[in-house]
Amino acid sequence: MTPLETLPDARGHFGPYGGMFVPETLMTALEELSAEYENAKRDPAFQTELADLLRDFAGRPTPLYLAARLTSDLGGAKIYLKREDLLHTGAHKINNALGQILLARRMGKRRIIAETGAGQHGVATATVAAHFGCECIIYMGAVDMERQALNVARMRFLGAKVVAVTAGQATLKEAINEAMRDWVTNVRSTHYILGSALGSHPYPMMVRDFQRVIGLETRRQILQREERLPDLLIACVGGGSNAIGLFHPFLDDRSVRMIGVEAGGEGMRAGRHAARFQGGRLGVFQGTKTFLLANEDGQIELTHSISAGLDYAAVGPEHSYLRDAGRVEYVYATDEEALHAFHTLSETEGIIPALETAHAIAHAMKIAPTLSPNELIVINCSGRGDKDVQQVAAQMA
């Protein structure tokens, strides 16, 4: 087998996936970013500054928590939660936002732009921009702004300008288009903090590397706690950053099984879900070659998920590669299953998860009872549910 951790190649290829499919005007900026990232990676001062921020500002390391009541209720494998929901701003997104704003500073770029779906990445970006006194513009679909009004208010409190994108489905895909358009126009002054392991090289690699801290800590913590590696890792997959962050440091440990959970929405009918590995096909979209939901003419299909953060037509290219390699399995959970898991975790553990995270919990609820009590599962608890309270309350009414 190819040593997975050496991927991607210099042009961002994960096997047949990935690459750099962007307008000519962005090539220079992406090459500059790649070069700066390579320098930063080898610069102890950069690594120290990032580690200090992750500890003192973001709240790392996050706990690895034994979900004892969930374990006993499900009656199978022992379940641990990696508590990314306890991070500052409420999700794993801050790990990547901190890494990238340090890069922006190294490049002398003081204007920060980002896209956001559920608003978690927008909040994380607005937060790090405020921390460093940078100008910040967040592009967000008008539909998502409505679904996630709390996060829109947070971004504004943090001094960011939130721009409503009304084109098309008015969700994440259109927000990325607008952010790309801005970047093409303002590339000299501006850094684009992309929020997931998506888009053109070097983003899928760089975002993965900034999120690997999740898996590295998990490995250390489970070894300390159980004196062995976990049997199964489970994470939800939107673009794929929290999943790849947890999985990547374990890829060479063949005994560790990994499952990524996509959004099954209302079931496997075209336009009603976001499970790219179920109904998807190979294509090029927003900078990268990967699995995506498109019709036979290559037209991007509508997507649906109860969770704005999983509601996107393409998946990060490294996940396509890991799926082909048979190293990671990909399944889906429906809106209904995610909602049920949201309530279950809240009531059994006193932890209200994000609706994205609830997809990972939902799959754990299916699989844990089929495993034996001496098997260990780690679920990435990617974020907390505060942002989803209104939406879920409305569903209950």
Ligand X SMILES: *Cc1c(COP(=O)(O)O)cnc(C)c1O
381 is written with which tokens? 């608890």
Cα separation, 233 vs 219, whole angstroms: 11
Interface with ligand X in residues 274-313 (CB under 6 A)? 309-310
In whole angstroms, how close is the CB of 334 to ligand X at the nearest point?
Answer: 16
Stretch 154-193: interaction string toward ligand X, x if CB under 6 A:
----------------------------------------
Contact 93, 122 (CB under 8 A): no
State which of residues 382, 388, 391, 392 lies at the interface with ligand X (CB under 6 A).
Answer: 382
Closest CA to 368 of 390, 396, 345: 345
In whole angstroms, how close is the CB of 200 to ligand X at the nearest point?
Answer: 16
Name the one range near ligand X by CB under 6 A: 21-29, 113-121, 143-151, 329-337: 113-121
- The DSSP output letter for 136 is E
Name the one range near ligand X by CB under 6 A: 106-114, 175-183, 297-305, 351-359: 351-359
Stretch 307-326: interaction string toward ligand X, x if CB under 6 A:
--xx----------------
Contact 271, 299 (CB under 8 A): no
Pick between residue 67 and residue 371 the one whose CB is nearest to ligand X: 67
Q: Is 383 in the site for ligand X (CB under 6 A)?
A: yes
In whole angstroms, how close is the CB of 246 to ligand X at the nearest point?
Answer: 9
In whole angstroms, how close is the CB of 138 to ligand X at the nearest point?
Answer: 14
Cα separation, 252 vs 140, whole angstroms: 37
Interface with ligand X in residues 222-251 (CB under 6 A)? 236-243
State which of residues 64, 118, 377, 392 lies at the interface with ligand X (CB under 6 A).
Answer: 118
15-54 in b/e burial notation, b at 16+ Cβ within 10 A? bebbbbebeeebeebbeebbebbeebeeeeebeeebeebb
Pick between residue 241 and residue 344 the one whose CB is nearest to ligand X: 241
Cα separation, 268 vs 264, whole angstroms: 7
In whole angstroms, how close is the CB of 282 to ligand X at the nearest point?
Answer: 20
In whole angstroms, how close is the CB of 61 to ligand X at the nearest point?
Answer: 18
Q: Indicate the pairing of strand 376-381 with strand 232-236.
A: parallel
State which of residues 95, 120, 190, 221 lies at the interface with ligand X (CB under 6 A).
Answer: 120
Catalytic residues, which ones? 93, 115, 382
Name the one range near ligand X by CB under 6 A: 36-44, 57-65, 114-122, 146-154: 114-122
Q: Indicate the pairing of strand 287-292 with strand 17-21.
A: antiparallel
Q: How many C-alpha atoms does 121 have within 13 Å on its Cβ side?
A: 31
Give 153's contacts (C-beta < 8 A, 6+ positions apart). Answer: none
In whole angstroms, how close is the CB of 328 to ligand X at the nearest point?
Answer: 13
State which of residues 151, 196, 290, 344 lies at the interface with ligand X (CB under 6 A).
Answer: 196
Sheet harboring 13-14: ordered strands across? 13-14, 17-21, 287-292, 281-285
Pick between residue 22 and residue 381 the one whose CB is nearest to ligand X: 381
Name the one range near ligand X by CB under 6 A: 74-82, 132-140, 343-351, 354-362: 354-362
State residue 303 phi and psi, 5-degree precision. Answer: -125, 160
- Count of residues binding ligand X (CB under 6 A)? 21
Q: Please, what sign has the CA dihedral across residues 221, 226, 231, 237?
A: negative
Q: Please, what sign has the CA dihedral across residues 234, 235, 237, 241?
A: negative
Using CB under 6 A as the criterion, which residues of the chain lie in contact with ligand X when the complex forms?
91, 93, 118, 120-121, 196, 236-243, 309-310, 354, 356-357, 382-383
